[in-house]
Structure formats: C-alpha cells, structure tokens
Amino acid sequence: MNWNDFDAALFDLDGVLTPTAELHQRAWFELFTEYLATHPSAPAYTQADYFAHVDGRPRYDGVAAMLASRGIELPWGTPADSLDADTVCGLGNRKNQQFEELLARDGILPYPGSLKLVEQLHAAGTKLAVVSSSRNAVEVLRIARIDHFFPVVVDGKVAEDDNVRGKPAPDMFLKAAARLGVEPARAVVLEDAVSGVQSGAAGDFGLVVGVDRGAGHQVLTQAGANLVVDDLEELL
C-alpha cells in the first residue's frame, strides 16, 4: 500500500496497538465462566465466544450479546450498578474491574510492529487517532507510553458522553475522522475485531485493514477488510 494516498490512520487499540485484548479475554473468561456456572443448562464460555459476541463491541453490548447467545435475558440496569448487580451493566462493571486489576498488575507495552508503523506515520505527518470501544483507552495509551502520538481518542467514554453509536456502526470512526479534519475516503481504518472491520466498511473509508490476532483472515475479509495482515510491521 502507498501511505501517500491517505491523510490519516484510525487505529483500534486492543489487539491492534497493544496486546490488551489478551487482558480483556482473560477478564471476560473469568466473568462468564463464573456467571454461567450458575446456569448449568447453558454451554460453557469459550474463546470462540469472545470473537463472536464480545470482541470490539462496547462493553455492555458485549455482555448483552453473549447472554443472548445462551438465551439469558437480564435487565439492562445503569452504569452506576454495583459489581454484584444481576444486570447487564452490573456484569459489565465486574468485568471492567477485573480488567483494571490485570492492567495495574501486569502493565502493557505496544506491539513492536505497531509501534514502528506509528512512529513512521507520525514522522511523515500522517494524522493519527485511536478509536476504541474500551472506556480505558486513555489509561492504556498512557501506560503503554504512546499517548503522545494520538491527539484524538474516541473511546467508550466519548461515545457515551456524545451519544455516538458503538461498533459495528461506523459512527465512532467517522467522529475521529471529523475531529482530525479529514474525509473518510482519505483515512485508513486498522482493526482486529469483526465488529470493528464492519464499522470501517460501513463508513466508506479509503481502506480497511484487518489485523489477524485470532479472528482469521477469511473472517476479516468477509467482514469487509480490503487487506489483512498478521502484524502492522507488514505495512511499513
């Protein structure tokens, strides 16, 4: 690809810039393994469930989608719900606490290939933004010491505060492009999640790059990726 054809790069965070997706997977696994144990007739949670129902979605939407896959309905609740509340938001809050504990204990570093690409694009003057469903995006960027590359961050908090639809709708990416002052056709979306690739494809962006961290090349291509790589260093 020729980066001179584009003015901006819009990066997902977890699984694209940093391996925080691994921490998220562990937190989701702990949450649903414990919760589904109280529903003996429901199939156990597996890694396939993460990619099918949770990956890339706003946290509460991921909870609702996962529960729906098991035929379980809960009240939605509110973001202020306690960690032991038997609601979608309560379960989502419990997962977030588990994630924050893992992040604080283990820390995080960017993928080496991703860092190389970001550094190259930054040096070339390409406008950069992070678009993440996570409400922890700003903190993750700070801990990974790459926050200074990204003047625009559209994350789960921004989406909630500004009433922006989450992935797979294209709205979060479109908002990031607007904040950078670039047309979608001049921006590249880089995503590892099926819902994120669908989001980029729905926004008519110049290019949608799928990063295969486990979803699979064919799955990401079918979701709308124009190009699929295993590591962002391939795009240098």
Q: Give the active site residues.
A: 12, 14
Q: What are the Cα distances from residue 119, in Å, to 112, 114, 146?
A: 11, 9, 10
DSSP letter for each residue of 5-30: G-SEEEE-SBTTTBTHHHHHHHHHHH
The count of other CB atoms within 10 Å of the CB of residue 165 is 14
Which residue type does 107 have? G
The answer to whether 36 and 44 have CB atoms below 8 angstroms apart is yes
Angle at alpha carbon of residue 222, lines to 220 and 225, rounded to 5°: 50
Q: Angle formed by the axes of helices 59-69 and 88-106, to 10°? A: 120
- Round to whole Å and give the CA distance between 71 and 58: 20
Q: Angle formed by the axes of helices 194-202 and 171-180, to 10°? A: 60
- Helix H or strand E segment including 208: strand 207-211
Beta strands in 38-163, from DSSP E residues, in sequence order: 127-131, 152-154
DSSP letter for each residue of 209-230: EEE-SSS-HHHHHHHT-SEEES
- Round to whole Å and give the CA distance between 203 and 224: 11
